[in-house]
C-alpha cells in the first residue's frame, strides 16, 4: 500500500511538471506561463505526501528545483519543444545548450565514482557507530561530525561522475557539476565556483547577476544564500520536519555571513595554507547544521 502511495506521488509530480512544461511555452500568454509556475509548485508539494522519508526528501529536492527552473522559464522563455522544456524541468543537468551526439561509454567517470565509494561508506560507518555508542561522549560527537562530513562529501563525488557517465551514454557531454570543492581556498570559491554548480548557476543567473547589474552585488549575494537556505529548508521540511529544516536553513545563512566576512578580511590575499585552513575549518565547524538532518534522512 505504501509503495503504491509513493508511486502515485511520483506520478503526480511528473504530471504537474508535464503540465508546467506545456504552459511555459515561449509563445504562451503571460497568464498561462504563470499557471505553469503554479503547476510546478504543486509538483514540489508532493514531497510532503510521500510515505518513505528518503522519497519525501528526494521529491522535495527535485520538485523544489523544478519549481525554481519554472520560475527561470517564466522570466526567460525557452523556445523549444514541449519535451525539451519538460526535460529541463525534471532533469538534473541543463541541456539547453548541449548538443546531442553519439552515446559514449566513459569508464574513467565510473572508476572515479568507485574510488570515492569506500570513503563514503567509511563515513557512514563512522556516523552510525557514533549514534550506536552514546557513551563515547565528546569523542562520539566528533566522530559523527567527521563521519557525516566524509559521507556527504564523498557521496556527492560518487553521484556526480556517475550522472555524467549516464548522460554521456545518452549522448550528452555535460560540464562538471562538482569541481573538486576540497581544493577551494575561500568559501566564496567553494560555493560560487565548485560545489553543486547546477544549483549555483541558477542562483547566479536568477539572484546574483540581476542585482550585480544594478550595482548591488552584496545584496545579490545575500539574496542567493537566502534563496539557497529556503530551498534546502524546503526539502528537509518535507522529509523530517521543522527542526531539521531550521538547521539546514541556518547552515546557509551562516555560510553567507562567512562569505561576506572573508571578503572584509581579504582572505583571498592570505597565504595558501591559511586560506585552506579558513575554508575547510569553517565548513567542518558548521557542518553539523548540514549533515545532521541528512543523516536523519538516511536513518543514520
pLDDT band at 203 (very low <50, low <70, confident <90, very high): very high
Give yes or no for a contact between 195 and 203, defined as CB atoms under 8 angstroms apart: no
pLDDT band at 4 (very low <50, low <70, confident <90, very high): low
pLDDT band at 115 (very low <50, low <70, confident <90, very high): very high
pLDDT one-digit tens code per residue, 228-261: 999 999 999 999 999 999 999 999 999 999 999 9
pLDDT band at 137 (very low <50, low <70, confident <90, very high): confident
Q: Kindly report the backbone phi and psi dihedral angles of residue 214, in degrees, each rounded to the nearest multiple of 5, phi listed first.
A: -95, 15
If one counts every other C-beta atom within 10 angstroms of the C-beta of residue 269, the result is 8
When pLDDT is averaged across residues 172-177 and rounded to a whole number, the result is 91
pLDDT band at 152 (very low <50, low <70, confident <90, very high): very high
The pTM score is 0.93
Q: Rounded to an integer, what distance in angstroms lies between the CA atom of residue 22 and that of residue 29?
A: 12
Q: Rounded to an integer, what distance in angstroms lies between the CA atom of residue 159 and that of residue 162?
A: 5
Q: What's the pLDDT at 78? A: 83
Q: Has residue 135 got a pLDDT over 90?
A: no
Q: What's the pLDDT at 1? A: 54
- What are the DSSP calls for 24-50, one per residue? TBTTS-HHHHHHHHHHHHHHHGGGGT-
Which one-letter DSSP state was computed for residue 173? Answer: -
- What are the DSSP calls for 92-127, one per residue? SS--TT---------HHHHHHHHHHHHHHHHHHHHH
H/E element holding 284?
A: helix 272-297
Work out the mean pLDDT of the chain and round it to a whole number: 92
pLDDT one-digit tens code per residue, 6-54: 788 888 899 999 999 999 988 889 999 999 999 999 999 988 887 888 9
**154: its cell numbers:** 564523498
Q: Has residue 162 got a pLDDT over 70?
A: yes
For residue 252, CA distances in Å to 18, 177, 232, 247 come to: 31, 19, 9, 9
Q: Which residue has the higher pLDDT, 281 or 1?
A: 281
Out of 50-54, 143-147, 215-219, least confident range:
50-54
When pLDDT is averaged across residues 181-190 and rounded to a whole number, the result is 95
Q: What's the pLDDT at 5? A: 62
Q: What's the pLDDT at 3? A: 63
Give yes or no for a contact between 43 and 238, defined as CB atoms under 8 angstroms apart: no
Amino acid at each position: 500500500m505504501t509503495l503504491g502511495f509513493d508511486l502515485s506521488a511520483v506520478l503526480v509530480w511528473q504530471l504537474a511538471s508535464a503540465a508546467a512544461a506545456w504552459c511555459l511555452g515561449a509563445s504562451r500568454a503571460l497568464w498561462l506561463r504563470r499557471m505553469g509556475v503554479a503547476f510546478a509548485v504543486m509538483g514540489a508539494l508532493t514531497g510532503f505526501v510521500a510515505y518513505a522519508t528518503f522519497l519525501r526528501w528526494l521529491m522535495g529536492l527535485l520538485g523544489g528545483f523544478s519549481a525554481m527552473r519554472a520560475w527561470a522559464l517564466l522570466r526567460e522563455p525557452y523556445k523549444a519543444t514541449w519535451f525539451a522544456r519538460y526535460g529541463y524541468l525534471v532533469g538534473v543537468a541543463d541541456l539547453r545548450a548541449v548538443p546531442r551526439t553519439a552515446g559514449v561509454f566513459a569508464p574513467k567517470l565510473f572508476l572515479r565514482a568507485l574510488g570515492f565509494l569506500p570513503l563514503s561508506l567509511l563515513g557512514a560507518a563512522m556516523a552510525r557507530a557514533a549514534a550506536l555508542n552514546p557513551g563515547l561522549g565528546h569523542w562520539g560527537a566528533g566522530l559523527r561530525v567527521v563521519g557525516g562530513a566524509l559521507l556527504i562529501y564523498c557521496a556527492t563525488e560518487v553521484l556526480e561522475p556517475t550522472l555524467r557517465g549516464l548522460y554521456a551514454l545518452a549522448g550528452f557531454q555535460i560540464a562538471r557539476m562538482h569541481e573538486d570543492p576540497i581544493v577551494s581556498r575561500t568559501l566564496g570559491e567553494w560555493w560560487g565556483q565548485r560545489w553543486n554548480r547546477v544549483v549555483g548557476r541558477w542562483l547566479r543567473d536568477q539572484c546574483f547577476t540581476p542585482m550585480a547589474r544594478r550595482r548591488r552585488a552584496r545584496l545579490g549575494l545575500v539574496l542567493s544564500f537566502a534563496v539557497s537556505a529556503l530551498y534546502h529548508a524546503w526539502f528537509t521540511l518535507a522529509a523530517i520536519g521543522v527542526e531539521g529544516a531550521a538547521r539546514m536553513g541556518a547552515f546557509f545563512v551562516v555560510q553567507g555571513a562567512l562569505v561576506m566576512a572573508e571578503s572584509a578580511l581579504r582572505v583571498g590575499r592570505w597565504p595558501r595554507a591559511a586560506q585552506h585552513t579558513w575554508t575547510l575549518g569553517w565548513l567542518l565547524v558548521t557542518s553539523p547544521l548540514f549533515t545532521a538532518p541528512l543523516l536523519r534522512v538516511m536513518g543514520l
